[in-house]
Amino acid sequence: MKKIINYLLPAVCLVAIVFSVAAFNKAGAATPAGQPVDLTYAAEKALPSVVHIKYVQNSKVKTIDVQSDPFSDFFFDPFGGFFGRGNGGSQKRQVQTPRKTATGSGVIISADGYIVTNNHVVDGADELTVTLNDNKEYSARIIGADKTTDLALIKIDGKNLPAIVIANSDDIKVGEWVLAVGNPLGLNNTVTAGIVSAKARRLGANSVESFIQTDAAINAGNSGGALVNTRGELVGINAMLYSQTGSYSGYGFAIPTTIMNKVVDDLKKYGTVQRAWVGIQGSNVKDYVDSQKDQGKDIDLGTMEGIYVAKVLEDGAASDAGIKEGDVIVAVDGEKVTRMAELQEIIARKRPGDKISITYLHEKKKHTETVTLKNEQGTVKVVKHADLDVLGANFREVTDDQKRQLDISYGLEVLKVNNGKLKDAGINRGFIIQKVNDQSINTIEDLQKAVRDASTSKEPVLYIQGIYPTGKKAYFAVPLQDN
């Protein structure tokens, strides 16, 4: 029998608008139950604030690993000469990547040009062009992006732009009518309609999720577009669709404004999201109990709602609260939590240093403790992306002569070492950096990305592999933070 495969797809260039009956009329006043609503008011309010985003990634020369063959020495690579020695292992080859283009959507959130979209709409872009509802075009720059929530903040140079009104997504209810606005399938300025099908939905596509689920039609190109209520106010950023075909045939999912507001504020202030961590691994209580039943085990945790704690991480808020493996978290700050997505949404609004109360069941007995949230690095300090300046050195890509002499195909040569992290680690002038944290380093941009990624990670260290001009290979650990 032919298998049906379910797809979780990013809603790049996606539009979803709610089509149907609602609780508000054109003026936003309540209408009798069961009466159809005029959705033109919401569409008129939202459409000017939703933009079309064109993404361009230019063609590049990229070094890749390929399997060696016995005849590899007889072939010459036009981009960089001979690579490898045909020893049956892997070798480096340089290939020309094609120019890539894509389209998505975005939402103007301020009159001076700040626009929210999805991270996957802008990730890796060399050029971003924003087209407004009135067909005016602007070049955009990325202010910041957060892969964990799949949100990004970009900026265009404009004034008096039609910013959308942002509503509190906590106020929307299941069954409420919503509109999805965006640019799906190349069809600009598209509106679709549906209802809120569920809240706090978790799909496993991102690290932090608490999606608003809607049956409004969402397709490729809708990503980053607006999910609005019947007053035309923003309640979510459309992000993906759930489908058996790869196009709309089921449900769309939007990131709620409660998460969006915190991410945007952090990106503006710090350039990266200040993320607090509870410090647990776990699952919904019902999912855990069901899995135990499948194994023939009878489990009684004292509740069928909440988050089952499978593991408590050291130095986290949960550990400080006295939570143990096997406990169940049932509330945060007095707000009931029934599943993991609800907990993630609450914590996603917090910053390291914020205090919260956690209510949990230990051996079926309820306990409440107040703790201070920390970041992934175990501190309450502001975490910012580090720049190359922190290394205190100058670099250049290796020359063709160096490649031939050292039998290498890529790397960055350290031209000069000043005061900084490289000097502290003992790396000298002439050393050629080839890998950082297991990622190949071909360009200065590669090194910059490695530094930025490591600086905000749980372990802010660069593990550098490379080679000296003598052919001697070396390995260094370079901490990015002072103890």
The reply to whether 26 and 114 lie within a common domain is yes
The reply to whether 358 and 306 lie within a common domain is yes
Q: Is residue 172 part of a domain?
A: yes
Q: Is residue 381 part of a domain?
A: no
Q: Is residue 275 part of a domain?
A: no
The predicted pLDDT at position 306 comes to: 95
The predicted pLDDT at position 243 comes to: 64
Which of 372, 407, 441 is where one domain is finished? 372
The reply to whether 65 and 10 lie within a common domain is no
On whether 266 is known to bind a ligand per the annotation, the reply is no
On whether 52 is known to bind a ligand per the annotation, the reply is no
Torsion sign (Cα): 416, 419, 421, 424: positive
CATH of the domain at 287: 2.30.42.10
CA distance 316 to 374: 7
Q: Is residue 382 part of a domain?
A: no
The reply to whether 455 and 420 lie within a common domain is yes
Q: Is residue 126 part of a domain?
A: yes
The burial class, CB within 10 Å (0-12 / 13-18 / 19+), for 159 is exposed
On whether 150 is known to bind a ligand per the annotation, the reply is yes
Strands 439-440 and 432-436: antiparallel
On whether 120 is known to bind a ligand per the annotation, the reply is yes
- Annotation marks residue 385 as catalytic: no
The pTM (predicted TM-score) of the whole model is 0.75
**What is the tally of structural domains in the chain?**
4
The reply to whether 43 and 109 lie within a common domain is yes
Annotated catalytic residue, options 223, 243, 409, 440? 223
- Domain containing 184 equals 1-60+97-270
Which of 341, 372, 403 is where one domain is finished? 372
The reply to whether 172 and 265 lie within a common domain is yes
Give the 3-state DSSP-derived string for the chain, with helices as H, strands as E and coil as C: CCCCCCEEEECEECCCCCCCCCCECCCCCECCCCCCCCCHHHHHHHHHHEEEEEEEECCCEEEEEEECCCCHHHCCECCCECCCCCCCCEEEEEEECCCEEEEEEEEECCCCCEEEECHHHHCCCCEEEEECCCCCEEEEEEEEEECCCCEEEEEECCCCCCCCCECCHHHCCCCCEEEEEECHHHCCCEEEEEEEEEEEECCCCCCCCCEEEECCCCCCEEECCEEECCCCCEEEEEEEEEECCCCCCCEEEEEEHHHHHHHHHHHHHHCCCCCCECCEEEEEHHHHHHHHHHCCCCCCCCCCCCEEEEEECCCCHHHHCCCCCCCEEEEECCEECCCHHHHHHHHHCCCCCCEEEEEEEECCEEEEEEEECECCCCCCCCCCCCCHHHHCEEEEECCHHHHHHHCCCCCEEEEEECCCHHHHHCCCCCCEEEEECCEECCCHHHHHHHHHHHHCCCCCEEEEEEECCCCCEEEEEEECCCC
Cβ pair 364, 410 in contact under 8 A = no
The reply to whether 87 and 234 lie within a common domain is no
Q: What are phi and psi of 143, to 5 degrees?
A: -80, -40
The reply to whether 31 and 148 lie within a common domain is yes
Q: Is residue 405 part of a domain?
A: yes
Give pLDDT tens digits along the chain (483 positions): 233 334 445 544 333 323 233 333 444 444 445 546 778 999 999 999 999 999 998 887 766 666 655 544 433 344 444 334 444 455 667 778 888 889 999 999 999 999 999 999 999 899 999 999 999 999 999 999 999 999 999 999 999 999 999 999 999 999 999 999 999 888 888 999 999 999 998 887 777 888 999 999 888 888 999 999 999 999 999 998 766 666 666 789 999 999 999 999 999 999 889 999 999 999 999 999 999 999 999 889 999 999 999 999 988 889 999 999 999 999 999 999 999 999 999 999 999 999 999 999 999 999 999 999 998 888 888 887 787 889 999 999 999 999 999 999 999 999 999 999 999 999 999 999 999 999 999 999 899 989 988 888 888 999 999 999 999 999 999 998 776
The reply to whether 249 and 289 lie within a common domain is no
CA distances (Å), origin 39, targets 124, 145, 171, 189: 37, 33, 19, 15
- Annotation marks residue 150 as catalytic: yes
Annotated catalytic residue, options 105, 120, 266, 446? 120
The reply to whether 285 and 244 lie within a common domain is no
Which of 221, 251, 270 is where one domain is finished? 270
Q: Is residue 379 part of a domain?
A: no
Of 270, 291, 250, the residue nearest 381 (C-alpha):
270
Q: Is residue 380 part of a domain?
A: no
- Annotation marks residue 68 as catalytic: no
The reply to whether 20 and 129 lie within a common domain is yes
The predicted pLDDT at position 399 comes to: 92
The reply to whether 203 and 72 lie within a common domain is no
CATH of the domain at 144: 2.40.10.120
The predicted pLDDT at position 79 comes to: 40
